[in-house]
Amino acid sequence: MHINPPPKRTTHCYLCAAPLHHKITWRKLLTPTREPAICEKCHQKFEPVAPEQQKYKDVTALYHYNEPMKDFLHQYKFLKDVVLSEVFREEIHQHLKDEQTIIVPIPMHPEKQKERTFAHIDELLNAAGIPFTHLLEKISPITQSSKTKTEREQSDQLFRLKVHEAIKPTHYILVDDIVTTGTTLQHAKSLLIEAGAEKVTALTLIQG
């Protein structure tokens, strides 16, 4: 696993380039905290998903897919602005820090990963300081977002287990960027359950 060097202190908002005013507090001095990478104004544009708004059972989504979030995801995944992995590091950290579980990112096809130059889910977790284990492999390089809804729902198993990885009867948390139809997470979940996992839940940044 690759460990990123500690992120440098950002002085300007990653999204709107407004100067950031870091306040010095005792808590910050004495405990390791993650400084915000974006300004308060940009942060407020993202709309958190309330517990009663969660669309899928066992899937916790952090934010709605509103316009600012669409722009964020575009800049992160398609314009490949890797530093944006730091934008939600605090939220992701808070959700996963105390879990006595195994964190499993949804993988990319190696071909696709070369093309994009980085694994966007891994980077989100790295920035949040959450250790993770890759247990799955993507079989086909075709992306879910390029398929129609029925094609997605009817597709064959998208993943296979990595060789030499034993699945224990314990709790696993899958991590993905966005949940749209839930098919991707369902495929990954059923694979882990079949292999002997006791419980599989998921965390996604966005609910589409």
| Pick 56 or 118: Cβ nearer other proteins | 118
DSSP assignment of the chain equals ---PPPPPPP-B-TTT-PBP-PPP-HHHHHS--PPPSS-HHHHHTS-BPPGGG--STTEEEEEE--HHHHHHHIIIIIS--GGGGGTTHHHHHHHHTT--SEEEEPPPPHHHHHHHSS-HHHHHHHHHT------EEES-S--GGGS-HHHHHHPPP-EEEPTTPPPPSSEEEEEEEEESSSHHHHHHHHHHHHTT-SEEEEEEEEE-
| Pick 70 or 168: Cβ nearer other proteins | 70
Q: Which of 62, 119, 121, 124 binds other proteins (CB under 8 A)?
A: 119
Regarding 143 and contact with other proteins (CB under 8 A), the answer is no
Regarding 20 and contact with other proteins (CB under 8 A), the answer is no
Which listed range, 88-96, 109-117, 139-147, 171-179, lies at the site for other proteins (CB under 8 A)?
109-117
| Pick 43 or 171: Cβ nearer other proteins | 43
Regarding 66 and contact with other proteins (CB under 8 A), the answer is no
Q: Which of 12, 28, 97, 160 binds other proteins (CB under 8 A)?
A: 12
